[in-house]
Chains A and B, each alone.
Chain A
Amino acid sequence: MGEDRKTPLYDEHVALGASMTPFGGWLMPLRYTSDLAEHRAVREAAGLFDLSHMGNINVTGPDAAAFLDHALVGYISKVREMGARYSMICAEDGSVLDDLIVYHHAPGEYSVIANAANAELVLGKLQERTAGFDVVLKDVQPGQALIAVQGPRAVEIMLATAGLVEDAEISGGTAFADLKYYACMGMRFQGEPLLVGRTGYTGEDGFELWVPADRAVALWRALLGAGEPLGLVPAGLSARDSLRLEAGMPLYGHELDTTTTPFEAGMGRVVRLDKVSDDGTPVPFVGRDALAARKESAPARVLVGLRGEGRRPARADYEVVLRGAGAEPGAPVGRVTSGAPSPTLGYPIAMAYVTPEVSAEGTELAVDVRGRAEPFVVVPMPFYRRPQN
């Protein structure tokens, strides 16, 4: 194992008093002050995240769209320019290698954003799948930083950030005021172009900004300076995890892995068996046959949301059981993939894979929390949905 890498913002985190933790081969801020305070700030005002550890692979060339239709399960050629799409890369057997966001940020040019721990694998798999396509892949993660502003006050903060301006020349045809959720645009910071996506992983409105490494500290400070009077706080991985869990978003290594297909994870909608190429023939994308078969067969397990009726939270890898007599755990029916006390809702929440017979909403189950059965009930996800205005 090599040493954990540091992002261009490492010194900022240390100066802010962050507890740093190894994550996906990187040394990242776990929390700055309090997980709960950071979580609540994102729900009520905004949080600032360093996501520079995420993999970023640039795909260019005349066949870029057709290549991504072949290599990923999504219908990427349908993503309009300056649009973004949540997708997955699967193996031939339909298992999930990673979940990704694809940005179509220039004509014939795409960015594939991968999880840090999978970035190398994704690049390798994509490279393997380029045979026959006129495309060039480039790992553009080194030399870049990714900063996210997430929360109901994110728009105000972006508008108040010194040096961050719109420029119709590079915007891609969108004004910041009109930037839609899951779309992106070009902006300038201190004169340098940067890509801004209205995307995130918290269940709130927000933006993700790719900035050259040498401007990362300046942008981080400018965003903090503009945002602090509005309630913005730097937020760590711990808050990011509880935020995404409340929002019912899967985390690779927990809800998704190489033993899982998108269908079991309740993400079948990302698999586009209806993809056709320019000549109207179905696209034989990697994993298609296995996924087509899987779609038709009954799953052995399904991902559900669980709400705790007591106060003790369930954690990843705890067994889901039938309710037995009293505190005695009943027969096992599944396993928790993520679990925590929900800061916003005030009760424990969890995601778990369970057998289909016990997956219906309202089913009363229990989780074996270190030898004691704690009552949980199956509920729809997301656990938390932001108020719409």
Chain B
Amino acid sequence: MADFPENLKYTTEHEWLDGSTPAVIGVTDVAAEALGDVVYLELPEVGATIEAGSVVGEIESTKSVSELYSPVSGTVTEVNTEAVDNPEVVNQDPYGKGWLFKVEVSGTGELLTAAEYAQHTGS
């Protein structure tokens, strides 16, 4: 069962972000499910300036690799090194321990509500 917490915003590329400052960003359980077991994460560097909608990293599973897009523009303040060391947390807890990076937000791309994202994924 797909699960989309109401307090988060989503992108059509299956990332989520919360409303805190800096904003916490991760991938949704739809993405985690579709990828299969995540085995390798390539995250942006702390201090990097990133653009909403641009590729900022990679998520690699046993079978495939997909690009990680940033839902927002801004400066990366922290990355989840625990998830880098144990990428399976992305599958186990995509909205919690499986968060990926934090951004001091200067602007956002197109964001969806939980209901809109659910509609987008057909869940």
Partners in one complex: yes
CB neighbours (8 Å) of A242 from chain B are 62
Complex Cα gap A311–B62 (Å): 12
CB neighbours (8 Å) of B65 from chain A are 315, 370
CB neighbours (8 Å) of B51 from chain A are none
Check if B40 sits within 8 Å of A36, measured CB to CB. Answer: no
Check if B60 sits within 8 Å of A313, measured CB to CB. Answer: yes
B38-63 contact mask (Cβ, 8 Å, vs A): 1 or 0: 01101000000000000000101111
CB neighbours (8 Å) of A34 from chain B are 36-37, 91
Check if B36 sits within 8 Å of A312, measured CB to CB. Answer: no
Instruction: List A residues 9-62 near B (Cβ within 8 Å).
Output: 30-31, 34-37, 39
Instruction: List A residues 226-243 near B (Cβ within 8 Å).
Output: 238, 241-242
Q: Which of A35, A311, A370 contacts B63 (CB 8 A)?
A: A35
Instruction: List A residues 302-327 near B (Cβ within 8 Å).
Output: 311-313, 315
CB neighbours (8 Å) of B60 from chain A are 312-313, 341
A113 interface hit (Cβ, 8 Å): no
Complex Cα gap A37–B40 (Å): 17
On chain A, which size bracket covers the interface?
10 to 19
Known contacts A35-B63, A242-B62, A343-B62; decide if A311 and B37 are in contact (CB<8 Å).
Answer: no
Complex Cα gap A152–B61 (Å): 26
CB neighbours (8 Å) of B36 from chain A are 31, 34-35, 238
CB neighbours (8 Å) of B62 from chain A are 35-36, 39, 238, 242, 340-341, 343
Whole-angstrom distance between the Cβ of A39 and the nearest chain B Cβ: 8
Which chain A residue lies CB-closest to B36?
Answer: A35
CB neighbours (8 Å) of B88 from chain A are 36
Which chain B residue lies CB-closest to A340?
Answer: B62
Whole-angstrom distance between the Cβ of A140 and the nearest chain B Cβ: 32
Which chain B residue lies CB-closest to A21?
Answer: B63
Which chain B residue lies CB-closest to A237?
Answer: B63
Check if A311 sits within 8 Å of B40, measured CB to CB. Answer: yes
CB neighbours (8 Å) of A39 from chain B are 62
Complex Cα gap A343–B42 (Å): 19
Whole-angstrom distance between the Cβ of B104 and the nearest chain A Cβ: 27
Complex Cα gap A35–B91 (Å): 12
Check if B40 sits within 8 Å of A312, measured CB to CB. Answer: yes
Which chain B residue lies CB-closest to A341?
Answer: B39
Whole-angstrom distance between the Cβ of B27 and the nearest chain A Cβ: 16
CB neighbours (8 Å) of A312 from chain B are 40, 42, 60
Instruction: List B residues 28-87 near A (Cβ within 8 Å).
Output: 36-37, 39-40, 42, 58, 60-63, 65
- Of listed B42, B62, B88, residue having the most chain A CB within 10 A: B62
- Of listed B40, B63, B88, residue having the most chain A CB within 10 A: B63
CB neighbours (8 Å) of B40 from chain A are 311-313, 341
CB neighbours (8 Å) of A35 from chain B are 36-37, 61-63
CB neighbours (8 Å) of A30 from chain B are 63
Check if A238 sits within 8 Å of B91, measured CB to CB. Answer: no
Whole-angstrom distance between the Cβ of B74 and the nearest chain A Cβ: 25
Complex Cα gap A382–B58 (Å): 29
Complex Cα gap A370–B67 (Å): 11
Check if B63 sits within 8 Å of A340, measured CB to CB. Answer: yes
Whole-angstrom distance between the Cβ of B79 and the nearest chain A Cβ: 15
CB neighbours (8 Å) of B37 from chain A are 34-37
Which chain B residue lies CB-closest to A239?
Answer: B62
CB neighbours (8 Å) of B63 from chain A are 30, 35, 238, 241, 340
Whole-angstrom distance between the Cβ of A336 and the nearest chain B Cβ: 13
Complex Cα gap A31–B36 (Å): 9
Complex Cα gap A312–B88 (Å): 15
B12-38 contact mask (Cβ, 8 Å, vs A): 1 or 0: 000000000000000000000000110
Complex Cα gap A30–B34 (Å): 11
Which chain A residue lies CB-closest to B38?
Answer: A36
User: Would you list the 10 A-B pairs with minimal beta carbon distance, nearest first?
Assistant: A35-B62, A36-B37, A341-B39, A35-B37, A35-B36, A34-B37, A238-B63, A311-B40, A312-B40, A340-B62
Residues of chain B whose beta carbon lies under 8 Å from any beta carbon of chain A: 36-37, 39-40, 42, 58, 60-63, 65, 88, 91
12 cross-chain CB contacts under 8 A = A35-B37, A35-B61, A35-B62, A36-B88, A37-B37, A238-B62, A238-B63, A311-B40, A312-B60, A315-B65, A340-B63, A341-B60
Residues of chain A whose beta carbon lies under 8 Å from any beta carbon of chain B: 30-31, 34-37, 39, 238, 241-242, 311-313, 315, 340-341, 343, 370
5 more A-B contacts (CB under 8 A) besides A39-B62, A238-B36, A340-B62? A34-B36, A35-B37, A311-B40, A340-B63, A370-B65
